[in-house]
C-alpha cells in the first residue's frame, strides 16, 4: 500500500477555491449585515465538518451534535455573561454582580460551577473540554458495547432532548428558554459593533480552515483509512486486531470538539446562546447541512452549511410558508437521489464533463493524460 500524500493537487485546488470564496468573494459582495449572517453559517460549518468525519467517514450518525454545539456555546456565553455582569452594570439588581436572569430567579449567589468562567483561559478550555468529555462518556458507553447505527442515533437524539429540557427547566442557572443574552464585550472589546462582527467573520474563517486541515490530516492518516474500512466492514477490521471502539470514540470526540468550537464562535458572532440551538430539530438540521454538501467530503460539508442556511434565510424571508416544504423536499431529494450530496454530484457528474472538455480543448501528450487516472486509482 502506498502512503497517501496529505493533499492531492485536486484537493489543494478545492481548498484554495473555498478560501477564495470565504476570504475574498463573500466579503467583497456582501454588506456587513449579510456578512454577519454568513459568519453565523460558518459556525454551523464547524459542526458539519465534524459530522462529515463521524458520519461520512466513520458511519457514526450522531443526532446530538446540537448538544456539543450548545455546550461549547454555553461555555463561551457564560464567560461573556459574567464579563457583562459587573457590579456596576448590574447595580439595579437586588444582588449586583450576578447575571440578570439569576437575579430574576431569586438566586443570591453565583453557583459554584459558574465560578471558573470568570477566567478566559478556563472558559476557552471548557469550550472544547466539556463537549469532548460528554462525547467521551457517550462514546465509551456505546461503542465498547458495540452499539451503533440506528440505536446510536436514537440515543444521541435522546441526549439532545434531555439537555434541552434541562436548560429550559433550570431557568435560574441557565437562563431558561431565553438562553444567555445581552452579551457585550470580550475582554473589553465590544462584540456588538459591525466592525467586530466582520472581524469575527474572518476569525471564523481562519478557525474553520484550521479545523478543515485537522480533518484532512485525520482523513489521510491511517486512522482515516481505518474509519472507512470500519464503516464498510467493521468485523473485518476488528478481526484484524484493531480496537474498533477506540477509533470510533476518538472520531466522535473530535466531531464534538469541532462542534464545541463552532458553538463558541456562534455565541461570539451572534451575541447570544439559547436552547433552540441545542435540541433535536437543530441537531437534525446540522446533519442535513452535511448531507446536502456531501457526507464524504469535508469541503462539501462547508458548502452544504453555507448553502442550506443561505437558502433558509432568503426563502423564509420571501415565502415563510414554503420554507418547510422546501426544506422537507430537500431532505428527501438529497437522500433519495444524491446520497453523496453536492460533492458527489460534482465528482461524479460535473468533474468528468469538465475533464472531458479540457482534454478536447488542449491536445495533451499521452503521458500526461495517463497521470490523472493513475492518481485516481491510487486514491
Partner 1 sequence: MFADYSWPELGAIFAMQGFAGLILFSVFVLMALGLAIIFGQMGVINMAHGEFMILGAYVTYLMSNLFADHVPALFGMYFFVAMFLAFIASGALGLLVEWAMIRHLYKRPLDTLLATWGLSLILQQVYRSVFGAREVGVSIPDWMMGSMPVTDLIEIPINGIFVMVLAVSISVGVYIMMFRSNWGKQVRAINQNRVMAGAVGINTEWTDRLTFGIGCGVAGVAGSAFTMIGSTGPTAGQLYIVDTFLVVVFGGAASLLGTIASAFSISQAQSIMEFFLSGSMAKVLTLLVVVGILMIRPQGLFAMKLRK
Residues that bind partner 1 (CB under 8 A): 61, 63, 141-142, 145-147, 149-151, 153-155, 157-159, 161-162, 165-166, 168-169, 280-281, 284, 287-288, 291, 321, 324-325, 327-332, 334-336, 339
- Grid coordinates of 50: 465534524
The answer to whether residues 251 and 60 touch, using CB atoms and an 8 Å cutoff, is yes
In angstroms, the CA 361 to CA 355 distance is 10
H helix intervals, the chain: 9-20, 26-29, 32-51, 65-84, 100-104, 120-143, 149-169, 171-174, 194-220, 222-232, 234-239, 244-270, 280-293, 298-318, 320-337, 341-345, 351-361, 366-378
Q: Minimum CB separation from partner 1 for residue 248, in Å?
A: 14
**Residue among 145 and 360 whose Cβ is closer to partner 1:** 145
Q: Minimum CB separation from partner 1 for residue 11, in Å?
A: 26
Q: Minimum CB separation from partner 1 for residue 325, in Å?
A: 5
Backbone φ and ψ for 180, nearest 5 degrees, come out as -100, 110
**Residue among 230 and 265 whose Cβ is closer to partner 1:** 230
**Residue among 111 and 149 whose Cβ is closer to partner 1:** 149
The answer to whether residues 23 and 202 touch, using CB atoms and an 8 Å cutoff, is yes
How many CA within 13 A on the CB side of residue 108?
A: 1
The answer to whether residues 200 and 38 touch, using CB atoms and an 8 Å cutoff, is no
**Residue among 20 and 147 whose Cβ is closer to partner 1:** 147
Q: How far is CA 367 from CA 5, 8, 361, 362, 370, in A?
A: 21, 19, 17, 14, 5
**Residue among 35 and 61 whose Cβ is closer to partner 1:** 61
**Residue among 33 and 337 whose Cβ is closer to partner 1:** 337
Buried b (16+ CB within 10 A) or exposed e, 262-291: bbbbbbbbbbbbbbbbbbbebbbbbbbbbb
Q: Return the CA Rg of the chain.
A: 22
Q: Minimum CB separation from partner 1 for residue 64, in Å?
A: 11
Q: Minimum CB separation from partner 1 for residue 291, in Å?
A: 6
Q: Minimum CB separation from partner 1 for residue 155, in Å?
A: 6
Q: Minimum CB separation from partner 1 for residue 350, in Å?
A: 23
**Residue among 55 and 201 whose Cβ is closer to partner 1:** 55
**Residue among 31 and 235 whose Cβ is closer to partner 1:** 235
Of 132, 179, 149, 211, give the one whose Cα is nearest residue 279: 179
Q: Minimum CB separation from partner 1 for residue 177, in Å?
A: 11
Amino acid at each position: 500500500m502506498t502512503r497517501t500524500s496529505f493533499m492531492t493537487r485536486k484537493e489543494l485546488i478545492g481548498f484554495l477555491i473555498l478560501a477564495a470564496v470565504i476570504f475574498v468573494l463573500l466579503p467583497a459582495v456582501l454588506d456587513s449585515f449579510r456578512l454577519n449572517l454568513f459568519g453565523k453559517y460558518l459556525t454551523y460549518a464547524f459542526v458539519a465538518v465534524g459530522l462529515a468525519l463521524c458520519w461520512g467517514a466513520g458511519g457514526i450518525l450522531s443526532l446530538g451534535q446540537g448538544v456539543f454545539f450548545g455546550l461549547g456555546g454555553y461555555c463561551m456565553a457564560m464567560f461573556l455573561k459574567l464579563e457583562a455582569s459587573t457590579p456596576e452594570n448590574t447595580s439595579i439588581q437586588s444582588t449586583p454582580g450576578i447575571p440578570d436572569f439569576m437575579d430574576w430567579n431569586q438566586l443570591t449567589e453565583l453557583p459554584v460551577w459558574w465560578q471558573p468562567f470568570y477566567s478566559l483561559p478556563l472558559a476557552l478550555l471548557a469550550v472544547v473540554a466539556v463537549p469532548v468529555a460528554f462525547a467521551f462518556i457517550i462514546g465509551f458507553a456505546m461503542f465498547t458495547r458495540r452499539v451503533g447505527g440506528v440505536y446510536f442515533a436514537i440515543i444521541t437524539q435522546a441526549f439532545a432532548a434531555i439537555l434541552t429540557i434541562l436548560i429550559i427547566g433550570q431557568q435560574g442557572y441557565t437562563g431558561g428558554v431565553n438562553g444567555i443574552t445581552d452579551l457585550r464585550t470580550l475582554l473589553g472589546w465590544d462584540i456588538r459593533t459591525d466592525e467586530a462582527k466582520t472581524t469575527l467573520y474572518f476569525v471564523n474563517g481562519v478557525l474553520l480552515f484550521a479545523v478543515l486541515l485537522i480533518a484532512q490530516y485525520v482523513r489521510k492518516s491511517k486512522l482515516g483509512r481505518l474509519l472507512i474500512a470500519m464503516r464498510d466492514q467493521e468485523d473485518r477490521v476488528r478481526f484484524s486486531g484493531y480496537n474498533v471502539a477506540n477509533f470510533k470514540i476518538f472520531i466522535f470526540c473530535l466531531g464534538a470538539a469541532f462542534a464545541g468550537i463552532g458553538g463558541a464562535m456562534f455565541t461570539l458572532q451572534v451575541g447570544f446562546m439559547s436552547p433552540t440551538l441545542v435540541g433535536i430539530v437543530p441537531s437534525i438540521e446540522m446533519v442535513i447541512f452535511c448531507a446536502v454538501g456531501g457526507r464524504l467530503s469535508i469541503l462539501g460539508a462547508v458548502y452544504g452549511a453555507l448553502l442550506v442556511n443561505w437558502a433558509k434565510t432568503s426563502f423564509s424571508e420571501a415565502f415563510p410558508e414554503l420554507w418547510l416544504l422546501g426544506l422537507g423536499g430537500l431532505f428527501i431529494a438529497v437522500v433519495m437521489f444524491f446520497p453523496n450530496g453536492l460533492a458527489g454530484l460534482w465528482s461524479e457528474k460535473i468533474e468528468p464533463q469538465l475533464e472531458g472538455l479540457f482534454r478536447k480543448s488542449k491536445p495533451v501528450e499521452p503521458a500526461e493524460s495517463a497521470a490523472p487516472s493513475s492518481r485516481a486509482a491510487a486514491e
